[in-house]
């Protein structure tokens, strides 16, 4: 079979797997399958299930021609007869359930503002629902928005106009009881195994005057009382209760917000007390921070107790890969699944069996079963037929020395074998965001599209990236665009020195978010690149402080306590706009108009400055999108973004554009 080159449009042909959940006995799994609906310019998702024998089967359907129906966040009832999940089929996300033995789905809840997450009680009679309590209106004029909270914006949402609340909901009689303080945000509900207590995280009533960290609370279902059992000193990402109900394992840290410190396992007595850091000797952080543009996996579980309560299994990233390790209560570690060129993005563990979503450099991610005896079985292969048609390249990994001799990981993606051969290949340098994110052994559609156009793609994990320990992650704190830039440029130089087919005369650069900041920084300090594309970028750190949804607390931490009224010169010294008069590189600016993480005013400043200075500049503004455009934006807008990147680079090279 003759294979063809991948195209931008192939983005809409992929099927995505995510959010696995196992039955209590570990014999059945349900997970989310997401597909693109080009006609409606969006995405639909359904639940699939498997017993591990044969191909997975759809459990829910409800794809309609005029509604983008999404089913997600599944979990089994304790007796494994029902699967509970969230669905927007009636307009807002509500809890639904469906029997594995046949029949139609039935709606369980009907909250006015929908349900963001839920937890099912062990006896299956109650469910805790996270929903939004809207603020009281401060104006009768619908054209007026009155803001009274400090953190009033959120990317993907816009103005924050309520608090996240938890309700205990009776499935049989539909009675609901508010169990969190209506003035405080609450999340991460989880029942004790016996069902007599409920644990959740909740913030302060006046966080502007204290902090925005969420403390751990216990709700006694018999006494109807709520008790704070742990005052958080850092962000909590997940919580799991031991099988005997005596210990709570938290995935978090005790170093405030936006910290470079690892996410660790903190053990707390269920009655309250001091946290014990079980993984204090673990070099790596819990979680997976490897980014890609072909993933719809909302699974968020980071750790799970063993059945005997003597150890925990946790998700961890080690450089370019991620998988599972375990630690017993004595702090002794063992690898569960850590495999070269495999990236695990989510997992569920029950009765000694693990269901996980795993991707590779040549796959977008599928469902796997990991059982006793180190057995690994791939259960799904959703994109097999598509990949059988495509001639894609496998990245070449390499390591090199960055600034201060630090060891840095990098990759080179060359054009596929079927691309018409040329003596020299132009080179695109890609830079990830974060900075606390990472590239790794995942499939990247954008990179493959550039390679299919005849470009070599270079990408690296400079200091500041996750997956290499806390010291490495802290490497760019107080030092944006300096040593981290050296790390990146040295990676490009390594490729040019060791791969003679890569053309020194045709170099290009692009990146998004922090990668956009770095792109702007680079073109203001060198003219080596023929063209650049800066995406959802930052050019002025001083302005970013007050206009981004995370600006002031994010930059204060990254720049060691710097603030607007005391450190203007410092912040501006790191701002690319200070070097706008040194830019000569033709640059395309791509920015979403509803981006509240890196607001579009950053792109507007950059564009006006460069045009005034006579730099060839193109400004692409995309309506209705936020900071997540490249990963989950509307399909047509994602395709437009890809076409803009490729056409801009093609404009400044002599290679023939392949349609």
- Percentages of the chain per state (helix, strand, coil), in multiples of 5: 20, 35, 45
Residue 659 pLDDT: 33
The verdict on residue 311 lying in a domain is: no
Reported pTM: 0.96
Tokens of 55: 């191909």
Chain-centre distance of CA 487, in angstroms?
24
**The predicted structure's pLDDT at residue 371:** 78
In the chain, what percentage of residues exceed pLDDT 70?
Answer: 98
Proportion of the chain above pLDDT 90, given as a percent? 92
Average pLDDT over residues 274-303: 95
Q: Residues 449, 352: contact at Cβ < 8 Å?
A: no
- Any domain includes 424: yes
Task: Count Cβ atoms below 10 Å from residue 483 Cβ, excluding itself.
Answer: 18
Separation of CA 207 from chain center: 25
Residue 90 binned pLDDT confidence (cut-offs 50, 70, 90): very high
Cα 502–chain centre separation: 32
Contact 591, 512 (CB under 8 A): no
- Outline where 466-540 has alpha helix (H): 470-473, 483-498, 514-523
pLDDT of 426 > 80? The answer is: yes
Residue 539 is part of which domain span? Answer: 392-651
Number of domains in the chain: 1
Q: What is the pLDDT of residues 518-564, one digit of tens each?
A: 999 999 999 999 999 999 999 999 999 999 999 999 999 999 999 99
Whether 246 is covered by a domain: the verdict is no
- The distance from CA 160 to its chain's CA centroid, rounded to whole angstroms, is 21
| 304 within a domain of the structure (yes/no) | no
In 526-652 the beta strands, taken as DSSP E runs, fall at: 531-535, 587-592, 617-622
- Per residue in 610-627, pLDDT (tens digit) is 999 999 999 999 999 999
Tell whether 433 is covered by a domain.
yes
Q: Which pLDDT tens digit goes with each residue over 479-513?
A: 999 999 999 999 999 999 999 999 999 999 999 99
- Integer Cα distance of 313 and 228 in angstroms: 26
pLDDT tens profile 28-76:
999 999 999 999 999 999 999 999 888 899 999 866 678 899 999 999 9
pLDDT interval class at 1 (50, 70, 90) = low
Is residue 290 situated within a structural domain?
A: no
Q: Tell whether the model's pLDDT for residue 346 goes beyond 70.
A: yes
**Tens digit of each residue's pLDDT (9 = 90 or more) over 558-608:** 999 999 999 999 999 999 999 999 999 999 999 999 999 999 999 999 999
CATH of the domain at 480: 3.40.50.1820
- Which ranges of 102-156 does DSSP label H, i.e. alpha helix? none
Residue 319 lies in a domain: no
| CA distances in angstroms from 134 to 114, 141, 159, listed in the order given | 12, 17, 12
The secondary structure of residue 524, as a DSSP letter, is T
Q: Is the pLDDT reported for residue 658 higher than 50?
A: no
The DSSP output letter for 290 is: B
pLDDT > 60? residue 373:
no
Range from 39-43, 137-141, 214-218, 632-636 carrying the lowest mean pLDDT: 137-141
Question: How close are the terminal C-alpha atoms of the chain, in Å?
Answer: 21
- Domain-embedded: residue 58: no
**Residue 612 exposed, middle or buried by CB count within 10 Å (0-12, 13-18, 19+):** exposed
- Cα–Cα distance list, 422 to 63, 327, 435, 453, 645 (Å): 46, 52, 35, 12, 22
| CA–CA distance, 313 with 331 (Å, rounded to integer) | 12
**Residue 85 parent element (H or E):** strand 82-87
Q: What is the pLDDT of residue 277?
A: 97
């Amino acid at each position: 079979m003759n294979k063809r080159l991948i195209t931008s449009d192939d983005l809409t042909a992929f099927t995505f797997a995510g959010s696995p959940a196992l039955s209590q006995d570990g014999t059945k799994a349900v997970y989310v399958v997401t597909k693109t609906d080009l006609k409606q310019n969006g995405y639909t998702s359904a639940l699939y299930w498997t017993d591990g024998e044969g191909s997975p089967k759809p459990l829910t359907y409800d794809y309609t021609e005029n509604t983008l129906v999404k089913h997600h966040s599944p979990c089994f009832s304790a007796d494994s007869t029902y699967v509970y999940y969230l669905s927007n089929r009636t307009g807002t996300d509500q809890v639904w359930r469906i029997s594995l033995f046949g029949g139609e789905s039935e709606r369980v809840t009907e909250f006015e503002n929908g349900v963001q997450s839920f937890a099912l009680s062990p006896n299956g009679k109650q469910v805790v629902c996270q929903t939004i309590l809207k603020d009281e209106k401060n104006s009768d004029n619908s054209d007026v928005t009155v803001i009274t909270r400090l953190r009033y914006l959120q990317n993907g949402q816009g103005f924050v106009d309520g608090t996240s609340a938890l309700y205990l909901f009776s499935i049989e009689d539909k009675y609901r009881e508010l169990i969190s303080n209506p003035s405080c945000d609450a999340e991460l509900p989880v029942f004790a195994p016996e069902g007599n207590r409920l644990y959740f995280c909740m913030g302060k009533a006046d966080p502007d005057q204290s902090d925005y960290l969420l403390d751990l609370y216990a709700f006694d279902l018999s006494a109807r009382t709520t008790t704070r059992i742990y005052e958080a000193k850092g962000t909590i990402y997940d919580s799991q209760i031991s099988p005997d109900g005596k210990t709570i394992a938290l995935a978090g840290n005790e170093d405030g917000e936006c910290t470079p410190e690892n996410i660790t396992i903190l053990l707390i007595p269920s009655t309250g007390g001091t946290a014990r850091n079980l993984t204090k000797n673990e070099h790596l952080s819990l979680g997976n921070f490897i980014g890609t543009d072909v993933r719809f996996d909302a699974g968020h579980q980071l750790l799970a107790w063993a059945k005997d309560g003597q150890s925990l299994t946790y998700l961890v990233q080690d450089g370019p890969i991620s998988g599972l390790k375990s630690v017993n209560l004595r702090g002794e570690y063992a690898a569960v699944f850590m495999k070269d060129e495999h990236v695990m993005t989510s997992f569920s563990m029950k009765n000694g069996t693990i269901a996980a979503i795993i991707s590779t450099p040549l796959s977008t991610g599928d469902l796997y079963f990991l059982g006793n005896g180190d057995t690994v079985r791939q259960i799904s292969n959703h994109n097999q037929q598509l990949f059988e048609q495509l001639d894609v390249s496998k990245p070449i990994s390499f390591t090199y020395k960055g600034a201060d001799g630090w060891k840095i990981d990098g990759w080179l993606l060359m054009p596929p074998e079927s691309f018409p051969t040329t003596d020299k290949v132009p080179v695109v340098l890609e830079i990830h965001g974060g900075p606390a994110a990472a590239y790794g052994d995942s499939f990247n559609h954008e990179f493959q599209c550039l390679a299919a156009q005849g470009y070599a793609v270079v990408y690296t994990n400079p200091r500041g990236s996750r997956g290499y320990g806390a010291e490495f992650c802290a490497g760019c704190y107080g030092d944006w665009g300096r040593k981290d830039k050296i790390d990146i440029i040295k990676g490009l130089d390594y490729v040019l020195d060791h791969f003679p087919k890569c053309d020194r005369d045709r170099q290009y650069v692009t990146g998004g978010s922090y990668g956009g900041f770095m792109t702007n920084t680079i073109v203001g300090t060198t003219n080596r690149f023929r063209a650049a594309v800066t995406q959802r970028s930052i050019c002025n750190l001083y302005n970013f402080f007050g206009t981004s949804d995370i600006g002031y607390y994010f930059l204060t931490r990254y720049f060691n306590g710097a603030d607007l009224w005391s450190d203007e010169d410092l912040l501006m010294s790191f701002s690319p706009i200070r070097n706008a008069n040194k830019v000569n590189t033709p640059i395309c600016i791509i920015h979403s108009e509803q981006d509240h993480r890196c607001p579009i005013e950053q792109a507007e400043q950059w564009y006006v400055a460069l045009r005034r200075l006579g730099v060839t500049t193109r400004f692409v503004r995309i309506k209705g999108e936020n900071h997540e455009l490249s990963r989950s934006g509307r399909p047509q807008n994602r395709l437009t973004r890809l076409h803009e990147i490729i056409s801009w680079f093609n404009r400044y090279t002599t290679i023939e554009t392949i349609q």
